[in-house]
Structure 1
Amino acid sequence: MNYPMAFYPETVTNFCRKYPLNLSRDDQVTVVCNNSSSVIKPQLPNLPIVPSVQWFGLIWLLWLGGAIALPLIAISWGWSWIELLLLVSAYSCLIAAAYAYVLSYRTKLLSQHRQQISEYQMKLAMYQKQQINSEHPPEIKAQESLINLKLRCQLLSDLMSNRVNPIGHSQARQGVSEKEFLRYLQCYFPTTVQGVQFKVPMSKKSYSADFTIVHHISGIGIDVEVDEPYAGLSLKPTHCLDEDSDRRRNQLFNEWGWIVVRFTERQVVQAPLSCCKFIAMVIAQVTGDRSYLELLELQPDLLPVKPWTTKEARRMAKERYRQTYLKQK
């Protein structure tokens, strides 16, 4: 894969397969459901059987009863205070685990039901569209497409509600080309934020995103990265094709629900508007929102750039390759 690169979460890919977008020549967006050929009216999903709130009260009553009964039993058996403390602690951990499991199970069922309701609304809209005579005036057809697009974005927004959010701003050093590129990004994508930090679960490690862009209507998030072939001070090779660090990072961000877009530093410096156009194309392809792309459609497409290996990055560093385009700034 050449630069520019785009890596999509599996959830987004599956969603786009299930609800593909057809972009006609006049740029009118229509939504097609994979099951649109069916004329069967969708059925409203049944409310799932979820643990009631009384379950949580019962769990805490069990804990309170055990916390009272166990010490009495332990004292009657002549246990020491240390043994009594360990017994009560183990029992409390068991009750806490049961509470967390029931809460997680209930939340999961309700979340699945909300997703089913959103899908039902989408399928119902498609069903109602099938029932309408196809010989409608163009104005009515355009209005129907906008309604379907709105429902699709709502469904995508529900799917993106589980996207992992950053924990704050990063202290990582910013690249020399990023400050100028930020100005272009914020001009076309007002939600752009630079240098935010993501915590890796079960680890002291964290990742810093060069830029993040959130499409508020659909909820999709885009992590925009600017890749240099080597570090400016140490001249150490970076973002090399034959290393796994970027691949693992991309995979983790995809699992967190983020689309990852990567440009080379030279692309960002020499063709920032074309980079913005590529981001706008990603948004349009996933959400159907072409408002960003319409502002940039006259810009040329980015020329593909081949990724570099560690050996090639060392040669670039030796030749001071980055200075050939950074000095033009």
Structure 2
Amino acid sequence: MKVRLPTYSLPQRQQLIQLPRCTQSPWLWGGVGALIGFLAFILIKAQWNPSSLFLVMFGIIGVILGLWALKKWLKQYYRELEFDYSLKMEKWQKTQRLMQRYHQRKSWVNPKLRAAQLRELLQGKVLQPTGKSLAQQGVSEKYFFEILKGYFKDLVSYGGEFPIPGSQLKYSHDIVYIDPTTGLHIDIEIDEPYEGKSKRPHHCIDDEKDKRRNQYFLENNWIIIRFAEEQVVRHPHSCCKLIAQTLVDLTAKLAYLKGFSDIDELPKIECWTVTDARRMAAWKLREIYLEEMGVYKQMSDQSGKKKKKRWNNKKKG
């Protein structure tokens, strides 16, 4: 399982609007009061009627009260901003401490000790197949298997079959990786969005079959890595890198990543629903990427050669 580290960014303090210093001075407000008195004196000398004088005075006092309320609101607003900033800063500092502790622990891990611990934990606890898988291989499995062999040699093989409790059916693996040093067993699955001949939706996120299958193998101490078929066809080397990175995360042995420094990270593909799979079948999405990458043609050519060979043998007989 790959550890996902938090990605909180350093919070930025909100730039506050600084009110002029003079607004804090009692002389300012005294001057404003004197100005109001002076205006009132002028209005009285000008022989304004009382109602006009009242309205002018009311307007001036309203402006002063509005400015005072604005100042009070700004103080409260900036107080809340500062409190929010302090909370975010505290959270960021805590995250930094956790990340630092994580990297320290990761650097302290002894790969040999981790391997011994895994071997002890998994010994005799990983469910083993009862026989060789008889499931039909997908068109992309052979293609991907050959690339896997280039990186992981004899540690990868085609899967076996496992009895399903309470059923006559059996589960089977596409490809498995077995690490003799640690005892890790990895089930590598290649998920097609729909079946080749019937075009029925396959491996859909809103179908419970894969969830039950995953639970079965997880409870029996298998690791499951699922790739979309399009990923292993378009980016097979990046898929191998993800497997290697998973091994590094589990064993702390960086040697697994040797040879992957120039390989790009695997692009993500969203899981599909039954509706999505039907739409992809209508668009012939599988046929498009298989033909683009030469996998479909390659498999068709191999199939044609086998048929031709059988026909020649029949003619000779």
Q: TM-score, normalised by structure 1?
A: 0.56
Q: 1:205 Cα deviation (Å)?
A: 2.4
Q: Which residue of 2 aligns with 1:219?
A: 183
2:232 counterpart of 1:154: no
1:7–1:193 CA distance, 2 compared to 1 (3 A): farther
2:228 counterpart of 1:245: no
1:246-282 per-residue CA deviation (whole Å, 9 max, x = no partner) reads: 1111111111111000001110001100000000011
User: SS at the partner of 1:186?
Assistant: helix
User: SS at the partner of 1:180?
Assistant: helix
Structure of higher RCO (CA pairs closer than 8 Å, 6+ residues apart) = 1
Q: Which residue of 1 aligns with 2:137?
A: 174
The CA distance in 2 between the partners of 1:22 and 1:217, in whole Å, is 25
Q: Which residue of 1 aligns with 2:278?
A: 314
2:287 counterpart of 1:209: no
The CA distance in 1 between the partners of 2:182 and 2:261, in whole Å, is 21
2:215 counterpart of 1:254: no
1:4-61 per-residue CA deviation (whole Å, 9 max, x = no partner) reads: xx699xxxxxxxxxxxx9667xxx9531xxxxxxxxxxxxxxxxxxxxxxxxxxxxxx
Q: Is the 8 A contact 1:192 1:214 kept in 2?
A: yes
Name the one with the larger helix percent.
Answer: 2
Q: 1:218 Cα deviation (Å)?
A: 0.9
Report how many aligned residue pairs link the two structures. Answer: 193
User: SS at the partner of 2:173?
Assistant: strand
The CA distance in 2 between the partners of 1:319 and 1:180, in whole Å, is 23
Q: Is the 8 A contact 2:191 2:203 kept in 1?
A: yes
Q: 1:186 Cα deviation (Å)?
A: 1.2
Structure number with larger C-alpha Rg: 2
Q: 1:202 Cα deviation (Å)?
A: 4.6
1:195-254 per-residue CA deviation (whole Å, 9 max, x = no partner) reads: 321222454221110000011111111000000000000000001111111111111111
Q: How does 1:77-116 map to 2 (within 5 A)?
A: none
1:173-194 per-residue CA deviation (whole Å, 9 max, x = no partner) reads: 1100110100011111121011
**Aligned partner letter, 2:144:** F
Q: How does 1:105-144 map to 2 (within 5 A)?
A: none
The CA distance in 2 between the partners of 1:251 and 1:306, in whole Å, is 21
Q: Which residue of 1 aligns with 2:127?
A: 164
Segments of 5+ residues of structure 2 without an aligned counterpart are 4-100, 295-317
User: SS at the partner of 1:260?
Assistant: strand
The CA distance in 2 between the partners of 1:23 and 1:293, in whole Å, is 18
Q: Is the 8 A contact 1:7 1:259 kept in 2?
A: no
Q: Is the 8 A contact 2:2 2:249 kept in 1?
A: no
**Aligned partner letter, 1:156:** L
1:252–1:264 CA distance, 2 compared to 1 (3 A): same
1:147-171 per-residue CA deviation (whole Å, 9 max, x = no partner) reads: x321221111111111111122111
Please report the RMSD computed on the Cα atoms of aligned residues, expressed in angstroms.
2.1
Segments of 5+ residues of structure 1 without an aligned counterpart are 1-5, 9-20, 32-147
Q: Which residue of 1 aligns with 2:289?
A: 325
2:260 counterpart of 1:296: yes
Q: Is the 8 A contact 2:176 2:185 kept in 1?
A: yes
The CA distance in 2 between the partners of 1:294 and 1:277, in whole Å, is 10
Q: TM-score, normalised by structure 2?
A: 0.58
Q: Is the 8 A contact 1:277 1:297 kept in 2?
A: no
